[in-house]
Amino acid sequence: MAKIENIDVGTFPLFLAPMEDISDSPFRAICKDYGADVLISEFISAEGLIRDALKSKLKMGYEPKERPIGIQIFGSNVASMMRAAEVAEAAMPDFIDLNFGCPVRKIVMKGGGAALLQDIPKMICMAESVVKTIRLPVTVKTRLGWDDAHKDIVDIAERLQDAGISAIGIHGRTRAQLYGGAADWTLIGEVKNNPRMTIPVWGNGDIDSGSKALEMKNRFGVDGIMIGRAATGNPWIFGEVKRAIAQLEPPPAPPMSERLAVVRRHIANSIIYKGERTTLYELRRFYAPYFRGVPDFKKYRMRLVTANDFEIVEAVLAEIERENC
């Protein structure tokens, strides 16, 4: 049974990886219903939390059914990360996750996310300082290293463990790769199989099917798997992976009626959570994956992503329903 300190997260937990404007509370709740074991918030700016910024506070919101849940924070200043961790702890999640892996330029240029891979002593100091500041377990999400010449994750993971973190999630790419090329799980496996490591090691990167998840589990022995981009508009992937791990046949593709019900639920809850305007914009990236494999979906997609109100969106959804159910 895998644990984050005293938090039971299941025999082989599946995580919904933190993703900006994707892994918010409405979508996390859907993924939970379809088999995700552990959820993590979108990444949240430490400086935003300290300033009491509305957007940052909103990202900390979650429903009780989402537990176990972690709040992920990022930043470049150790003192700010300590204070932000206290603010996040007050929201009473199950753990706090430190983002040491986001490759996005605007984050890295400010010294946050994967930028810490260029200053390992500062990363370790930050992790240790946060661990000592709060009572909740502290976990880390990071990458293999800055670039191919600096794949230092085996050493980094040991040092983070020594700093007191309770689990580590590793994306199998360097910062220089961004999201290009294939994820390399070899070093994730080396971290997991390092005899000095005693904390759980979660693997992340290119898990887009149950068979791929099972392969990574068997080859590298990780304690659990994080699923990111492949879950966008596809919460059913968690059930597929669970069936593969249990060595069962893949589930059938979700019927159109179920897809439509999930899309409508996602829209309705997102409007409550974020309002119509933000929802209209953010849901655009979900439509194509929600309806992946639907014949002639292209004729609907353009109308959905250019709709300027939800009356138009619902009219298109109703048309899809009439023609495909």
- Residues designated catalytic: 102
Given a contact cutoff of 8 angstroms between Cβ atoms, the answer to whether 274 and 58 are in contact is yes
C-alpha distances in Å from residue 51, one per residue of 35, 46, 67, 110: 35, 9, 27, 17
202 beta partners:
169, 224
Given a contact cutoff of 8 angstroms between Cβ atoms, the answer to whether 125 and 91 are in contact is no
- Cα–Cα distance between 152 and 143 in angstroms, integer? 9
Backbone angles phi, psi at 185, to 5 degrees: -90, -5
Apex 306 CA angle, 317 and 233, nearest 5 = 55
